[in-house]
Amino acid sequence: MRTPTIDKSEIQAQRAVMELIKSSNPGRKALVETYGCQQNVNDSQRLMGMLTEMGYTLTDDREEADLILMNTCAVRDNAEQRVFGNLGALKHLKARKPELIIGVCGCMPQQELVAEKIRAKYRHVDLIFGTHALYRFPSLLAEALEHRSRVLDIGGEGAIAEGLPVLYEGGAKAFVSVMYGCNNFCSYCIVPYVRGRERSRLADDVVAEVRELAGRGVKEVMLLGQNVNSYGNDRGETDAFAGLLRRVGEIDGIERIRFMSSHPKDISESLLEAMAECPKVCRQLHLPLQSGSDKVLKDMNRRYTAERYREIVRRVRELMPGLSLTTDIIVGFPTEERADFEETLKMLRDIRFDSIFSFIFSPREGTPAAKMESAAADGEKSAWFQEMLDVQNEISAEINSRCVGEIQEILVEGESKHEPDMLSGRNYANKIVNFRGDGSLKDKLVKVKITKAQTWILYGEQA
Protein backbone atom coordinates (compact mmCIF):
# COMPACT_ATOMS: atom_id res chain seq x y z
CA MET A 1 0.00 0.00 0.00
CA ARG A 2 1.37 3.42 -0.87
CA THR A 3 0.04 6.88 -0.10
CA PRO A 4 1.01 9.20 -2.94
CA THR A 5 3.14 12.05 -1.59
CA ILE A 6 4.56 15.06 -3.38
CA ASP A 7 8.34 14.98 -3.37
CA LYS A 8 10.12 17.55 -1.17
CA SER A 9 12.03 18.81 -4.20
CA GLU A 10 8.74 19.69 -5.90
CA ILE A 11 7.59 21.67 -2.84
CA GLN A 12 10.97 23.39 -2.83
CA ALA A 13 10.51 24.28 -6.50
CA GLN A 14 7.14 25.85 -5.64
CA ARG A 15 8.79 27.77 -2.81
CA ALA A 16 11.37 29.11 -5.25
CA VAL A 17 8.56 30.30 -7.56
CA MET A 18 6.93 32.02 -4.58
CA GLU A 19 10.19 33.87 -3.88
CA LEU A 20 10.41 34.93 -7.51
CA ILE A 21 6.86 36.29 -7.59
CA LYS A 22 7.48 38.10 -4.32
CA SER A 23 10.62 39.78 -5.65
CA SER A 24 8.68 41.39 -8.48
CA ASN A 25 5.42 42.03 -6.61
CA PRO A 26 4.64 45.73 -6.56
CA GLY A 27 2.25 45.35 -3.58
CA ARG A 28 -0.62 43.48 -5.21
CA LYS A 29 -3.79 42.56 -3.36
CA ALA A 30 -5.62 39.23 -3.42
CA LEU A 31 -9.06 38.01 -2.45
CA VAL A 32 -9.86 34.34 -1.84
CA GLU A 33 -13.58 33.50 -1.77
CA THR A 34 -14.37 30.13 -0.21
CA TYR A 35 -17.42 27.95 -0.84
CA GLY A 36 -18.22 24.55 0.68
CA CYS A 37 -16.98 22.54 3.60
CA GLN A 38 -14.27 22.93 6.24
CA GLN A 39 -11.79 21.11 4.00
CA ASN A 40 -12.17 23.90 1.50
CA VAL A 41 -11.74 26.49 4.24
CA ASN A 42 -8.53 24.70 5.16
CA ASP A 43 -7.41 24.62 1.50
CA SER A 44 -8.11 28.35 1.24
CA GLN A 45 -5.85 28.91 4.22
CA ARG A 46 -3.11 27.17 2.21
CA LEU A 47 -3.83 29.34 -0.82
CA MET A 48 -3.75 32.45 1.38
CA GLY A 49 -0.55 31.23 3.01
CA MET A 50 1.05 30.90 -0.43
CA LEU A 51 -0.29 34.29 -1.53
CA THR A 52 1.15 35.96 1.56
CA GLU A 53 4.52 34.32 0.86
CA MET A 54 4.30 35.72 -2.67
CA GLY A 55 4.01 39.25 -1.29
CA TYR A 56 0.25 39.65 -1.74
CA THR A 57 -1.82 41.55 0.83
CA LEU A 58 -5.20 39.98 1.45
CA THR A 59 -8.36 42.02 0.99
CA ASP A 60 -12.12 41.49 1.26
CA ASP A 61 -12.85 44.07 -1.41
CA ARG A 62 -13.26 42.79 -4.98
CA GLU A 63 -12.79 46.34 -6.34
CA GLU A 64 -9.27 46.71 -5.00
CA ALA A 65 -8.12 43.12 -5.64
CA ASP A 66 -5.49 42.36 -8.30
CA LEU A 67 -6.26 38.65 -7.99
CA ILE A 68 -9.60 37.03 -7.18
CA LEU A 69 -9.58 33.32 -6.50
CA MET A 70 -12.79 31.35 -6.04
CA ASN A 71 -12.27 28.11 -4.14
CA THR A 72 -15.39 26.24 -5.15
CA CYS A 73 -17.70 23.44 -3.97
CA ALA A 74 -19.54 20.93 -6.15
CA VAL A 75 -21.56 19.05 -3.56
CA ARG A 76 -24.96 20.49 -4.57
CA ASP A 77 -26.24 22.37 -7.57
CA ASN A 78 -27.00 25.55 -5.60
CA ALA A 79 -23.34 25.76 -4.53
CA GLU A 80 -22.26 25.63 -8.19
CA GLN A 81 -24.93 28.12 -9.30
CA ARG A 82 -23.71 30.62 -6.72
CA VAL A 83 -20.20 30.39 -8.18
CA PHE A 84 -21.46 30.78 -11.74
CA GLY A 85 -23.51 33.82 -10.65
CA ASN A 86 -20.52 35.42 -8.93
CA LEU A 87 -18.26 34.65 -11.88
CA GLY A 88 -20.71 36.33 -14.23
CA ALA A 89 -20.71 39.41 -12.01
CA LEU A 90 -16.90 39.67 -12.28
CA LYS A 91 -17.04 40.12 -16.05
CA HIS A 92 -17.61 43.87 -15.76
CA LEU A 93 -14.82 44.25 -13.22
CA LYS A 94 -12.40 42.47 -15.56
CA ALA A 95 -13.52 44.71 -18.47
CA ARG A 96 -12.72 47.79 -16.37
CA LYS A 97 -9.51 46.31 -14.97
CA PRO A 98 -7.95 44.01 -17.61
CA GLU A 99 -4.85 43.30 -15.49
CA LEU A 100 -7.07 41.65 -12.83
CA ILE A 101 -6.42 37.90 -12.59
CA ILE A 102 -9.47 35.74 -11.91
CA GLY A 103 -8.99 32.14 -10.82
CA VAL A 104 -11.41 29.27 -10.17
CA CYS A 105 -10.12 26.34 -8.15
CA GLY A 106 -11.31 23.59 -5.83
CA CYS A 107 -13.94 20.94 -6.39
CA MET A 108 -15.89 22.39 -9.35
CA PRO A 109 -13.06 22.44 -11.92
CA GLN A 110 -11.97 18.98 -10.78
CA GLN A 111 -14.97 17.81 -12.86
CA GLU A 112 -13.86 17.91 -16.48
CA LEU A 113 -17.22 19.01 -17.89
CA VAL A 114 -17.52 21.87 -15.43
CA ALA A 115 -13.94 22.99 -16.11
CA GLU A 116 -14.78 22.96 -19.82
CA LYS A 117 -17.91 25.03 -19.22
CA ILE A 118 -15.92 27.62 -17.27
CA ARG A 119 -13.26 27.72 -19.97
CA ALA A 120 -15.75 28.09 -22.80
CA LYS A 121 -18.37 30.40 -21.27
CA TYR A 122 -16.41 32.52 -18.81
CA ARG A 123 -13.62 33.83 -20.96
CA HIS A 124 -12.63 36.41 -18.35
CA VAL A 125 -11.35 33.60 -16.09
CA ASP A 126 -7.55 33.35 -16.35
CA LEU A 127 -6.74 30.45 -14.08
CA ILE A 128 -8.62 27.15 -13.67
CA PHE A 129 -7.26 24.41 -11.46
CA GLY A 130 -8.64 21.48 -9.48
CA THR A 131 -8.10 20.25 -5.93
CA HIS A 132 -5.21 17.99 -6.97
CA ALA A 133 -3.23 20.93 -8.38
CA LEU A 134 -3.47 23.10 -5.25
CA TYR A 135 0.21 22.74 -4.36
CA ARG A 136 1.14 23.89 -7.89
CA PHE A 137 -0.69 27.20 -7.44
CA PRO A 138 2.54 29.30 -7.38
CA SER A 139 3.76 28.03 -10.75
CA LEU A 140 0.27 28.31 -12.28
CA LEU A 141 0.02 31.89 -11.08
CA ALA A 142 3.52 32.64 -12.39
CA GLU A 143 2.45 31.39 -15.81
CA ALA A 144 -0.69 33.54 -15.78
CA LEU A 145 1.26 36.63 -14.66
CA GLU A 146 4.08 36.15 -17.13
CA HIS A 147 2.30 35.08 -20.29
CA ARG A 148 -1.04 36.74 -19.65
CA SER A 149 -2.59 33.62 -21.15
CA ARG A 150 -5.26 31.33 -19.73
CA VAL A 151 -3.92 28.53 -17.57
CA LEU A 152 -5.74 25.23 -17.02
CA ASP A 153 -4.64 22.42 -14.68
CA ILE A 154 -7.31 19.83 -13.91
CA GLY A 155 -7.54 16.06 -13.57
CA GLY A 156 -4.65 14.00 -12.24
CA GLU A 157 -4.45 12.11 -8.99
CA GLY A 158 -4.47 13.51 -5.49
CA ALA A 159 -1.38 13.34 -3.30
CA ILE A 160 -0.26 14.56 0.10
CA ALA A 161 1.73 17.80 -0.06
CA GLU A 162 3.49 18.73 3.17
CA GLY A 163 5.51 21.85 3.82
CA LEU A 164 3.38 24.50 2.13
CA PRO A 165 2.69 27.73 4.00
CA VAL A 166 -0.69 28.06 5.75
CA LEU A 167 -2.37 31.24 6.91
CA TYR A 168 -4.18 30.42 10.13
CA GLU A 169 -6.85 33.01 10.66
CA GLY A 170 -9.20 31.55 13.25
CA GLY A 171 -7.69 33.06 16.42
CA ALA A 172 -7.69 30.36 19.08
CA LYS A 173 -9.36 27.83 16.74
CA ALA A 174 -7.86 26.01 13.78
CA PHE A 175 -8.76 23.35 11.24
CA VAL A 176 -6.22 20.61 10.64
CA SER A 177 -6.79 18.19 7.77
CA VAL A 178 -5.66 14.72 8.75
CA MET A 179 -6.63 13.09 5.48
CA TYR A 180 -7.93 13.95 2.05
CA GLY A 181 -10.32 12.23 -0.35
CA CYS A 182 -12.98 9.60 0.17
CA ASN A 183 -13.37 5.94 -0.81
CA ASN A 184 -17.00 5.49 0.15
CA PHE A 185 -18.87 6.41 -3.02
CA CYS A 186 -22.22 7.09 -1.42
CA SER A 187 -24.45 6.96 -4.48
CA TYR A 188 -25.48 10.64 -4.33
CA CYS A 189 -22.09 12.17 -3.60
CA ILE A 190 -19.60 13.89 -5.89
CA VAL A 191 -16.83 14.18 -3.29
CA PRO A 192 -14.92 10.96 -4.15
CA TYR A 193 -14.82 12.10 -7.79
CA VAL A 194 -13.48 15.58 -7.04
CA ARG A 195 -11.26 14.77 -4.07
CA GLY A 196 -9.86 11.42 -5.17
CA ARG A 197 -9.00 8.38 -3.07
CA GLU A 198 -8.26 8.54 0.64
CA ARG A 199 -4.79 9.79 1.54
CA SER A 200 -3.80 10.07 5.18
CA ARG A 201 -1.14 12.43 6.47
CA LEU A 202 1.50 10.86 8.70
CA ALA A 203 0.54 11.13 12.37
CA ASP A 204 3.92 12.80 13.05
CA ASP A 205 3.10 15.56 10.53
CA VAL A 206 -0.34 16.14 12.05
CA VAL A 207 1.09 16.23 15.56
CA ALA A 208 3.86 18.64 14.48
CA GLU A 209 1.28 20.98 12.93
CA VAL A 210 -0.92 20.93 16.02
CA ARG A 211 2.16 21.60 18.21
CA GLU A 212 3.04 24.58 16.07
CA LEU A 213 -0.53 25.84 16.33
CA ALA A 214 -0.47 25.45 20.10
CA GLY A 215 2.72 27.52 20.11
CA ARG A 216 0.83 30.28 18.32
CA GLY A 217 -1.91 30.31 20.93
CA VAL A 218 -4.42 27.96 19.31
CA LYS A 219 -6.54 26.23 21.96
CA GLU A 220 -9.03 24.29 19.85
CA VAL A 221 -8.35 22.11 16.84
CA MET A 222 -10.88 20.49 14.53
CA LEU A 223 -9.33 17.43 12.86
CA LEU A 224 -10.76 17.08 9.37
CA GLY A 225 -11.39 14.24 6.98
CA GLN A 226 -14.39 13.09 4.94
CA ASN A 227 -14.37 9.97 7.09
CA VAL A 228 -11.79 10.15 9.86
CA ASN A 229 -12.63 6.57 10.87
CA SER A 230 -10.64 5.29 7.92
CA TYR A 231 -7.63 7.49 8.75
CA GLY A 232 -4.46 5.46 8.14
CA ASN A 233 -6.16 2.63 6.21
CA ASP A 234 -4.39 3.75 3.02
CA ARG A 235 -1.09 3.28 4.87
CA GLY A 236 -2.04 -0.24 5.90
CA GLU A 237 -2.93 0.76 9.46
CA THR A 238 -6.19 -0.11 11.17
CA ASP A 239 -8.11 2.07 13.56
CA ALA A 240 -5.31 4.64 13.57
CA PHE A 241 -7.53 7.63 14.28
CA ALA A 242 -8.05 6.61 17.91
CA GLY A 243 -4.25 6.68 18.38
CA LEU A 244 -3.96 10.03 16.63
CA LEU A 245 -6.66 11.50 18.87
CA ARG A 246 -4.76 10.35 21.95
CA ARG A 247 -1.50 11.86 20.66
CA VAL A 248 -3.13 15.20 19.87
CA GLY A 249 -4.72 15.07 23.32
CA GLU A 250 -1.23 15.09 24.88
CA ILE A 251 -0.17 18.37 23.28
CA ASP A 252 0.27 21.16 25.83
CA GLY A 253 -1.75 24.26 25.13
CA ILE A 254 -4.48 22.43 23.20
CA GLU A 255 -7.59 22.47 25.37
CA ARG A 256 -10.26 21.25 22.98
CA ILE A 257 -10.29 18.71 20.19
CA ARG A 258 -13.11 18.12 17.73
CA PHE A 259 -13.22 16.06 14.56
CA MET A 260 -15.44 15.49 11.55
CA SER A 261 -16.83 13.55 9.84
CA SER A 262 -17.31 10.03 11.11
CA HIS A 263 -18.97 7.45 8.90
CA PRO A 264 -21.29 5.24 11.01
CA LYS A 265 -20.31 2.15 9.03
CA ASP A 266 -16.82 2.16 10.49
CA ILE A 267 -16.93 3.99 13.76
CA SER A 268 -15.04 1.75 16.18
CA GLU A 269 -15.22 0.92 19.84
CA SER A 270 -11.59 1.99 20.26
CA LEU A 271 -12.35 5.44 18.81
CA LEU A 272 -15.27 5.86 21.22
CA GLU A 273 -13.02 4.76 24.09
CA ALA A 274 -10.30 7.21 23.03
CA MET A 275 -12.91 9.98 22.96
CA ALA A 276 -14.27 9.03 26.35
CA GLU A 277 -10.82 8.73 27.93
CA CYS A 278 -9.37 11.95 26.52
CA PRO A 279 -10.74 14.89 28.51
CA LYS A 280 -9.74 17.37 25.79
CA VAL A 281 -12.00 15.75 23.20
CA CYS A 282 -15.24 17.74 23.26
CA ARG A 283 -18.34 15.81 24.25
CA GLN A 284 -19.70 16.27 20.78
CA LEU A 285 -20.07 13.99 17.78
CA HIS A 286 -21.17 14.67 14.23
CA LEU A 287 -22.44 11.37 12.86
CA PRO A 288 -24.16 11.71 9.48
CA LEU A 289 -27.29 9.56 9.29
CA GLN A 290 -28.62 10.70 5.86
CA SER A 291 -31.86 8.68 6.17
CA GLY A 292 -33.80 6.64 8.71
CA SER A 293 -35.02 4.15 6.09
CA ASP A 294 -33.05 0.95 5.48
CA LYS A 295 -34.22 0.86 1.88
CA VAL A 296 -32.95 4.38 1.22
CA LEU A 297 -29.72 3.79 3.16
CA LYS A 298 -29.09 0.76 0.96
CA ASP A 299 -29.77 2.73 -2.22
CA MET A 300 -27.46 5.45 -0.91
CA ASN A 301 -24.74 2.81 -0.49
CA ARG A 302 -24.25 3.84 3.12
CA ARG A 303 -23.64 0.28 4.33
CA TYR A 304 -25.33 0.47 7.76
CA THR A 305 -28.91 0.06 8.91
CA ALA A 306 -31.04 2.37 11.03
CA GLU A 307 -30.80 -0.20 13.84
CA ARG A 308 -26.99 -0.23 13.67
CA TYR A 309 -27.03 3.56 13.87
CA ARG A 310 -29.27 3.42 16.94
CA GLU A 311 -26.89 0.89 18.50
CA ILE A 312 -23.91 3.24 17.98
CA VAL A 313 -25.82 6.12 19.55
CA ARG A 314 -26.73 3.96 22.56
CA ARG A 315 -23.06 3.03 23.05
CA VAL A 316 -21.85 6.61 22.56
CA ARG A 317 -24.30 7.88 25.16
CA GLU A 318 -23.41 5.08 27.55
CA LEU A 319 -19.72 5.99 27.37
CA MET A 320 -20.28 9.77 27.28
CA PRO A 321 -23.54 10.78 28.92
CA GLY A 322 -24.69 14.25 27.87
CA LEU A 323 -22.71 14.14 24.62
CA SER A 324 -24.04 16.53 21.98
CA LEU A 325 -24.99 14.73 18.78
CA THR A 326 -25.45 16.31 15.34
CA THR A 327 -26.13 14.77 11.95
CA ASP A 328 -26.66 15.30 8.22
CA ILE A 329 -29.94 14.34 6.53
CA ILE A 330 -30.81 14.26 2.85
CA VAL A 331 -34.48 14.72 1.98
CA GLY A 332 -35.84 13.64 -1.39
CA PHE A 333 -33.33 10.96 -2.39
CA PRO A 334 -34.79 9.47 -5.62
CA THR A 335 -36.11 6.25 -4.06
CA GLU A 336 -37.46 7.95 -0.95
CA GLU A 337 -41.22 7.70 -0.48
CA ARG A 338 -43.43 9.14 2.24
CA ALA A 339 -43.05 6.01 4.40
CA ASP A 340 -39.24 6.26 4.19
CA PHE A 341 -39.34 9.92 5.09
CA GLU A 342 -41.51 9.09 8.11
CA GLU A 343 -38.84 6.65 9.26
CA THR A 344 -36.34 9.51 9.19
CA LEU A 345 -38.72 11.66 11.26
CA LYS A 346 -39.06 8.80 13.72
CA MET A 347 -35.27 8.58 14.05
CA LEU A 348 -35.07 12.32 14.73
CA ARG A 349 -37.76 12.03 17.42
CA ASP A 350 -36.18 8.94 19.00
CA ILE A 351 -32.55 9.98 18.90
CA ARG A 352 -33.10 13.69 19.59
CA PHE A 353 -30.11 15.24 17.85
CA ASP A 354 -28.94 18.60 19.16
CA SER A 355 -29.18 19.88 15.60
CA ILE A 356 -29.20 18.59 12.05
CA PHE A 357 -27.73 19.79 8.77
CA SER A 358 -30.39 19.01 6.21
CA PHE A 359 -30.28 19.14 2.44
CA ILE A 360 -32.68 18.49 -0.39
CA PHE A 361 -31.20 15.86 -2.71
CA SER A 362 -29.35 17.44 -5.60
CA PRO A 363 -28.51 15.18 -8.57
CA ARG A 364 -24.78 15.31 -9.34
CA GLU A 365 -23.78 14.29 -12.83
CA GLY A 366 -21.58 11.18 -12.83
CA THR A 367 -22.99 9.74 -9.60
CA PRO A 368 -25.29 6.66 -9.65
CA ALA A 369 -28.16 8.49 -7.91
CA ALA A 370 -28.31 11.11 -10.66
CA LYS A 371 -29.59 8.39 -13.01
CA MET A 372 -32.30 7.16 -10.64
CA GLU A 373 -35.96 7.94 -11.28
CA SER A 374 -37.44 10.20 -8.60
CA ALA A 375 -40.39 8.79 -6.63
CA ALA A 376 -41.58 12.11 -5.17
CA ALA A 377 -42.27 15.42 -6.91
CA ASP A 378 -40.10 18.47 -6.14
CA GLY A 379 -42.97 20.24 -4.35
CA GLU A 380 -43.50 17.23 -2.14
CA LYS A 381 -39.79 17.11 -1.24
CA SER A 382 -39.83 20.79 -0.23
CA ALA A 383 -42.87 20.16 1.99
CA TRP A 384 -41.12 17.20 3.67
CA PHE A 385 -38.04 19.31 4.15
CA GLN A 386 -40.06 21.98 5.97
CA GLU A 387 -41.88 19.37 8.02
CA MET A 388 -38.55 17.93 9.12
CA LEU A 389 -37.20 21.35 10.10
CA ASP A 390 -40.30 21.99 12.22
CA VAL A 391 -39.85 18.67 14.03
CA GLN A 392 -36.14 19.27 14.60
CA ASN A 393 -36.44 22.92 15.66
CA GLU A 394 -38.75 21.92 18.47
CA ILE A 395 -36.25 19.26 19.62
CA SER A 396 -33.26 21.64 19.36
CA ALA A 397 -35.08 24.35 21.33
CA GLU A 398 -36.10 21.82 23.98
CA ILE A 399 -32.53 20.48 24.36
CA ASN A 400 -31.16 24.01 24.59
CA SER A 401 -33.71 25.08 27.18
CA ARG A 402 -32.33 22.39 29.49
CA CYS A 403 -28.97 24.20 29.52
CA VAL A 404 -30.43 27.17 31.40
CA GLY A 405 -28.78 27.39 34.80
CA GLU A 406 -25.69 25.39 33.72
CA ILE A 407 -22.20 26.83 33.96
CA GLN A 408 -20.40 26.14 30.70
CA GLU A 409 -16.91 26.82 29.43
CA ILE A 410 -16.96 29.08 26.38
CA LEU A 411 -14.10 29.70 23.96
CA VAL A 412 -14.61 33.38 23.14
CA GLU A 413 -14.36 34.26 19.45
CA GLY A 414 -14.92 38.02 19.75
CA GLU A 415 -17.75 40.48 19.30
CA SER A 416 -21.08 38.92 18.27
CA LYS A 417 -21.84 39.61 14.59
CA HIS A 418 -25.50 40.43 15.18
CA GLU A 419 -25.28 41.83 18.71
CA PRO A 420 -22.08 43.92 18.78
CA ASP A 421 -22.53 44.84 22.43
CA MET A 422 -22.04 41.17 23.30
CA LEU A 423 -19.20 38.69 23.11
CA SER A 424 -19.75 35.46 21.23
CA GLY A 425 -18.14 32.07 21.70
CA ARG A 426 -18.79 28.35 21.53
CA ASN A 427 -19.46 25.81 24.23
CA TYR A 428 -18.31 22.16 24.26
CA ALA A 429 -21.15 21.28 21.87
CA ASN A 430 -19.99 23.96 19.40
CA LYS A 431 -23.17 25.95 20.11
CA ILE A 432 -23.01 29.73 20.03
CA VAL A 433 -23.19 31.42 23.42
CA ASN A 434 -23.46 35.20 23.69
CA PHE A 435 -22.76 37.13 26.87
CA ARG A 436 -21.65 40.57 28.01
CA GLY A 437 -17.96 40.85 28.75
CA ASP A 438 -14.73 42.65 28.10
CA GLY A 439 -13.13 42.44 24.62
CA SER A 440 -9.89 41.25 26.28
CA LEU A 441 -11.58 37.86 26.78
CA LYS A 442 -11.26 37.11 23.04
CA ASP A 443 -9.55 33.74 22.42
CA LYS A 444 -9.87 32.81 26.10
CA LEU A 445 -11.85 30.05 27.78
CA VAL A 446 -14.40 31.65 30.07
CA LYS A 447 -17.02 30.21 32.43
CA VAL A 448 -20.50 31.42 31.57
CA LYS A 449 -23.81 30.75 33.35
CA ILE A 450 -26.53 30.09 30.77
CA THR A 451 -29.53 32.33 31.43
CA LYS A 452 -31.60 32.07 28.24
CA ALA A 453 -31.92 29.59 25.38
CA GLN A 454 -33.19 29.88 21.83
CA THR A 455 -33.24 27.29 19.04
CA TRP A 456 -29.84 28.29 17.62
CA ILE A 457 -28.22 30.33 20.33
CA LEU A 458 -27.68 30.47 24.08
CA TYR A 459 -27.26 33.57 26.24
CA GLY A 460 -25.51 33.87 29.55
CA GLU A 461 -23.45 35.90 31.96
CA GLN A 462 -19.88 35.48 33.07
CA ALA A 463 -19.86 33.16 36.09
Residue 75 or residue 176: which is nearer to ligand SAM going by CB?
75
Position 177 contacts ligand SF4 (CB under 6 A): no
Spell out the alpha helix ranges (H) of 24-111. 38-53, 77-96
How many whole angstroms separate alpha carbon 213 and alpha carbon 170? 11
Q: Which of 160, 78, 39 is nearest to 362 (CA)?
A: 78
In what helix (H) or strand (E) does residue 280 lie, and over which residues does it extend?
none
Among 50, 65, 105, 189, binds ligand SF4 (CB under 6 A): 189
Residue 196 or residue 437: which is nearer to ligand SF4 going by CB?
196
Among 15, 52, 310, 359, binds ligand SAM (CB under 6 A): 359
Which residues, 6+ apart, have CB-to-CB distance to 14 below 8 Å? 50, 135, 136, 137, 138, 139, 164
**167: exposed, middle or buried (C-beta count within 10 Å: 0-12, 13-18, 19+)?**
middle
CB of 445 to ligand SAM, least distance (A): 29
Position 184 contacts ligand SF4 (CB under 6 A): yes
Position 71 contacts ligand SF4 (CB under 6 A): no
Q: Which of 401, 431, 394 is nearest to 413 (CA)?
A: 431
Residue 67 or residue 369: which is nearer to ligand SF4 going by CB?
369
**62: exposed, middle or buried (C-beta count within 10 Å: 0-12, 13-18, 19+)?**
middle
Position 265 contacts ligand SAM (CB under 6 A): no
Site for ligand F3S in 191-230 (CB under 6 A): 191, 194-195
How many whole angstroms separate alpha carbon 397 and alpha carbon 392? 8
CB of 14 to ligand SAM, least distance (A): 27
Position 69 contacts ligand F3S (CB under 6 A): no
How many whole angstroms separate alpha carbon 277 and alpha carbon 279? 6
How many whole angstroms separate alpha carbon 297 and alpha carbon 326? 18
Among 49, 192, 243, 249, binds ligand SF4 (CB under 6 A): 192
Among 17, 36, 231, 348, binds ligand F3S (CB under 6 A): 36
How many whole angstroms separate alpha carbon 12 and alpha carbon 196? 24
Position 193 contacts ligand SAM (CB under 6 A): no
CA angle 254, 258, 264 (to 5 degrees): 150
Encoded one letter per residue, x for contact with ligand SAM by CB under 6 A and - for no contact, window 36-55 reads -x------------------
Residue numbers of the site for ligand F3S (CB under 6 A)? Answer: 36-37, 39-40, 73-75, 107, 190-191, 194-195
Residue numbers of the site for ligand SAM (CB under 6 A)? Answer: 37, 75-76, 188-189, 191, 226-227, 261, 263, 288, 290, 328, 330, 359, 361-362, 364
Residue numbers of the site for ligand SF4 (CB under 6 A)? Answer: 182, 184-186, 189, 191-192, 226-227, 263
